[in-house]
Amino acid sequence: MEWYALDSWIVLTGALCAIACALPGTFLVLRNMSMMGDAISHAVLPGLAIAFLLSGSRSSIWMFVGAAVVGLITALATQWISHWGKVDRNASMGIVFTTLFALGLLIIVQAADHVDLDPNCVLYGALELTPLDVVAEWTWFGLLIELPRAALVLAVVASINLLIICVFYKEMKVAAFDPDLSEAQGFRAGWMHYLLMAQVAVTTVAAFEAVGSIIVVAMLIVPPATALLLSKRLGMVLFLSATLGAAAALMGHLAAIHFPPLLGFNGTSTAGMMALATGFLFVLAWLKHLMFN
Amino acid sequence: MTSLAHETIHATAHEHPADVPLAIHDLTVAYQRKPVLWDIDLNIPEGKLVALVGPNGAGKSTLLKACLGLIPLTSGKVLFYGQPLRKQRRQVAYVPQRESVDWDFPISALDVVTMGTYSQIGWLRPVRTKHRELARQALEQVGIADLAERQISQLSGGQQQRVFLARALVQEARFYLMDEPFAAVDAATEVAIVSLLKTLQTNGKTALVVHHDLATVTQYFDWVILLNSRIVASGPTQTVFTADNLRKTYGGNLSLLAEAGHALSQLGRPLS
């Protein structure tokens, strides 16, 4: 078995991505809004595309601002359309996110000749390539450490998500469990809703380079759903979903580099295998749940 | 509006609004232009156990939610002890319908009750041991302290209802809004809730309770509001809970009228 520094970075980046996603993802699942994660992760595309075109770089803070704004627009527009258009909330979500996603796709394809933003990369991510984009390097006990930008960005976003949940723990808990009580006590459940939506949007952007805008949904939803089968304590559920997501990153990368060669193929996509690993862990948790409940 | 007693209370309400736990003036609520509550004018006197009675779709839950600012008012105003809710939040506790939350949520009974102390704790401050201790005492009061650490999905319907009541108790409010606390609970829980209501009343608290069981209205409540989009009648149970008023409230709903007839016959006041 060959293991390079590159592989460590890929696993670490994947794990940070999983942790960043699992924290807001847990609240999405608890609020029965799992598909809102799907909607927002797709809808942020025009925000990304526009921010990218304006700033001309993928590392720009404007990408996050653009995504957060479009993420909030998605949440607001979904609310408005279902309220004023008298359509079901899910239908309204379907209208908003497909429209925005299509708009984003058009902008990217139109601009593809001029800029370096590949639709495939946006959809599926390129986790294997992230270690090549180094943002800082230093020597530590004779070991050259090249910090990939994606790892840094995801570490920052994961920390922010953790901080938000620590600071607003009781507010998020009551807003998710009983929004009416929350409002009656003067804690605006709506604010917590939009904070969560902004968190999901920003997390999605940080994650899209690593795992793409489709697989990010797996990272948002599957580890929390798994954790909910294993624990009945909110704190434990949050911890478990982050841990399970990180474990899936390691399992996914090992599977991606070792499993296909056994069958005579080249190594495959780590992001894809990570999502598959989360599904595998879910099945295990579900079997345990069936056997012991 | 037809009741004399109601008119009297209404008049005094304007003189001493701070004495009136809940005063509602000209309240109208509409869902997408379809009015659900029309011209509600109400004053609930201090220290009463008040039943809010009416057929399905009469707007009972809507009235509670409108008072709590959970749905927008088309017009009108709601005052708790003479002031809008945002100045009186600590004085008002709410017990929503049991089905309004997801009981599979990963928290314990104690966690749910502790939520009642959040308004006391305030934004961003953490829950402390003393708040959990208050929650534990509230669980004790409703008789399920031994279930504090249970995950809420593992409680029976009656126990879940008691958890909700404990959560309202821990707020130490003066006014309680309860949405069908007696719905689908076991007999022991029903007795526990009634004795809890009486205790609240003894301590000078006021409660507005959405109630479905017409047979027990006279037994549990000393004040009644009959609602069917509009207030049909409001006042002391003795004077307001009459066959005539019930007929006006329930219209042609025969099965409910029969039920009401039964309730009234127990009082020695046959319906027809």
Residue A252's Cα: distance from chain center in Å?
16
- Exposure string (b/e) for A74-97, b if CB count within 10 Å is 16 or more? bbebbbebbeeeeeeeeebbbbbb
Domain B4-266 homologous superfamily, CATH: P-loop containing nucleotide triphosphate hydrolases (3.40.50.300)
Stretch B249-259: mean pLDDT = 68
In A141-232, where do the E strands start and end? 143-148
Domain extent listing, chain B: 4-266
Confidence (pTM): 0.88
Within 13 Å and on the Cβ side, how many CA atoms surround A3?
8
Pairing of strands B75-80, B22-31: antiparallel
Show residues of chain A in contact with B111, CB under 8 Å.
Answer: 173, 234
The torsion angles phi and psi of B142, rounded to 5 degrees, stand at -95, 5
Q: Are A46 and A218 in contact (CB under 8 A)?
A: no
Quickly state the pLDDT bin for B12 (edges 50, 70, 90).
very low
Q: What's the pLDDT score for residue B81?
A: 94
The torsion angles phi and psi of B123, rounded to 5 degrees, stand at -55, 140
CA distance linking residue B8 with residue B25, whole number of Å: 15
Within 13 Å and on the Cβ side, how many CA atoms surround A228?
20
Chain A residues within 8 A (CB-CB) of chain B?
Answer: 30, 32, 86, 167-171, 173-174, 176-178, 180-187, 228, 231-234, 236-237
ipTM of this model?
A: 0.86
Is pLDDT at B193 greater than 50 in this prediction? yes
* pLDDT higher at A25 or A292: A25
CA distance linking residue A171 with residue A167, whole number of Å: 9
Stretch A24-32: mean pLDDT = 95
A237 to chain B: closest CA residue: B106
Task: Supply the mean pLDDT for chain A.
Answer: 87
Domain A5-216 homologous superfamily, CATH: ABC transporter involved in vitamin B12 uptake, BtuC (1.10.3470.10)
pLDDT tens profile B119-141: 889 888 899 999 999 999 999 99
Quickly state the pLDDT bin for A284 (edges 50, 70, 90).
very high
Interface test with B, best of A28, A81, A163, A181 (most B CBs within 10 A): A181
CA distance linking residue A101 with residue A40, whole number of Å: 9
Within 13 Å and on the Cβ side, how many CA atoms surround A96?
30
Is pLDDT at A41 greater than 90 in this prediction? no
**Which contiguous run of DSSP H or E holds residue B227?**
strand B223-228
Question: B95 by DSSP, 3-state: which?
Answer: strand
Structure tokens at A257: 């580099």
Q: Taken in order B156, B161, B162, B163, is the CA torsion positive or negative?
A: positive
Show residues of chain B in contact with A192, CB under 8 Å.
Answer: none
Q: Are A195 and B123 in contact (CB under 8 A)?
A: no
Interface test with B, best of A180, A187, A228 (most B CBs within 10 A): A180
Is pLDDT at B266 greater than 50 in this prediction? yes
List B92's β-bridge partners, or say none: B175
Domain extent listing, chain A: 5-216
pLDDT tens profile A114-136: 666 666 666 677 888 888 888 88
User: Measured over all CA atoms, what is the biggest interatomic distance in chain B, rounded to whole angstroms?
Assistant: 60
Q: What's the pLDDT score for residue B11?
A: 46
Q: Taken in order A179, A31, A171, A237, is the CA torsion positive or negative?
A: positive
**For residue B69, what is the DSSP state?**
T
Show residues of chain A in contact with B94, CB under 8 Å.
Answer: 180-181, 184
Interface test with A, best of B118, B154, B163, B165 (most A CBs within 10 A): B118
